[in-house]
Amino acid sequence: MTTAIHVRGLTKRYGEVQAVGGLDLDIHTGEVFAILGPNGAGKSTTVEILEGYRKRDGGEVSVLGVDPGHATSAWRARVGIVLQTANDAAELTVRETVRHFARYYPHSKDPDEVIAKVGLSEKAGARIRQLSGGQRRRVDVALGIVGRPELVFLDEPTTGFDPEARRQFWDLIRSLAAEGTTIVLTTHYLDEAEALADRVAVIAKGRIVAEGTPHTLGGRATASARVTWADGYAETDTPTALVRTLAEKYDGEIPGLQIVRPSLEDVYLDLIGGTE
């Protein structure tokens, strides 16, 4: 397994505020990696350092084998960035914009194919101003991938989407991942991380407080389960044994049976709460 992003001891300070305080991170080539964390946890700062937008104070950072603190245009051609808030070029059409950005890259994809991929073929001739919020983010994605990047950063891509638009957007991300593109995603939505990410890291107070697959994060898979049935409930580390006992007791179906492990949200809130 090769490493797309390698970070050791990353630090960044704004005046009195230590935004990032010794952060370690490894993201493998081809995986979808989600970075979770509350506002002000150092999430955006970390990602902007990885994207080459910000200088770091200390630590070791390598993105696709290059230090983003000394980004070259050859490196930028390998990295796609989908920004969180961009309202530019409102009076250009989708096709004009994507075609123009394709010129910046040495091995760009066919602009019309990219537009089709993000599902905007019907809107290719429309001005960006006339698009809905969700369609606009699709243009952002198109601009982020038109250069055929090996690595794509997506910063809170579905904020403000309705549920249907989010599902469609997730399919788009999945199809990118299926092509082997490494994807680094920051998000506030835990269901989004759960649906898309191979691995998740939680940042709080400028450090990684937990890292793992969405299913095992923070000991989620092995945490005690809450078993509820018609006549009672129990917290247990061995829910299967309890269910077996109950099944014998009721001689068949257990009325109102429910077994609940902590949700990703429970684990997440616990993790970031623990750092307060």
209/204 Cα distance (integer angstroms): 6
Q: What is the DSSP annotation of 174-241? A: HHHHHTT-EEEEE-S-HHHHHHH-SEEEEEETTEEEEEE-TTTGGGTTTSPEEEEETTEEEEES-HHH
Nearer to other proteins, 35 or 50 (CB): 50
213/31 Cα distance (integer angstroms): 11
Instruction: Draw the binding track, 127-146, toward other proteins (x: CB under 8 A; -: no contact).
Output: x---------------x---
Asked if 147 interacts with other proteins (CB under 8 A), we say yes
Nearer to other proteins, 147 or 218 (CB): 147
Contacts of 239 by beta carbon, 8 Å cutoff, 6+ apart: 225, 227, 259
Interface residue with other proteins, options 67, 88, 162, 265 (CB under 8 A): 88
Asked if 73 interacts with other proteins (CB under 8 A), we say yes
Asked if 96 interacts with other proteins (CB under 8 A), we say yes
Q: Looking only at residues 4 through 23 of this chain, which bind other proteins when binding is defined by CB under 8 A?
A: none
Asked if 273 interacts with other proteins (CB under 8 A), we say no
165: which 2 tokens?
Answer: 């638009």
The angle at the Cα of 64, spanning 66 to 211, to the nearest 5 degrees, equals: 115
Identify whether the C-beta of residue 46 lies closer than 8 Å to the C-beta of residue 65: no
Going by C-alpha positions, the residue among 118, 158, 167 that lies closest to residue 142 is 118
249: which 2 tokens?
Answer: 């007791």
Smallest gap from Cβ 77 to other proteins, in A, equals 4
Identify whether the C-beta of residue 17 lies closer than 8 Å to the C-beta of residue 43: no
Smallest gap from Cβ 144 to other proteins, in A, equals 9
Asked if 76 interacts with other proteins (CB under 8 A), we say yes
Asked if 70 interacts with other proteins (CB under 8 A), we say no
Asked if 222 interacts with other proteins (CB under 8 A), we say no
Q: Report CA-CA distances (Å) from 212 to 17, 34, 37.
A: 28, 10, 14
Asked if 85 interacts with other proteins (CB under 8 A), we say yes
Asked if 39 interacts with other proteins (CB under 8 A), we say no
Interface residue with other proteins, options 6, 21, 105, 121 (CB under 8 A): 105
68/73 Cα distance (integer angstroms): 11
Nearer to other proteins, 35 or 271 (CB): 35
Burial of 6 (0-12, 13-18, 19+ CB in 10 A): middle
Task: Tell me, by CB under 8 A, how many residues bind other proteins.
Answer: 28
Interface residue with other proteins, options 16, 103, 164, 178 (CB under 8 A): 103
Which helix (H) or strand (E) covers residue 210, if one does? Answer: strand 207-212
Nearer to other proteins, 101 or 161 (CB): 101
Smallest gap from Cβ 86 to other proteins, in A, equals 3
Q: Which residues bind other proteins (CB under 8 A)?
A: 51-54, 73-74, 76-77, 79, 81, 83, 85-89, 91-92, 96, 100-101, 103-106, 127, 143, 147
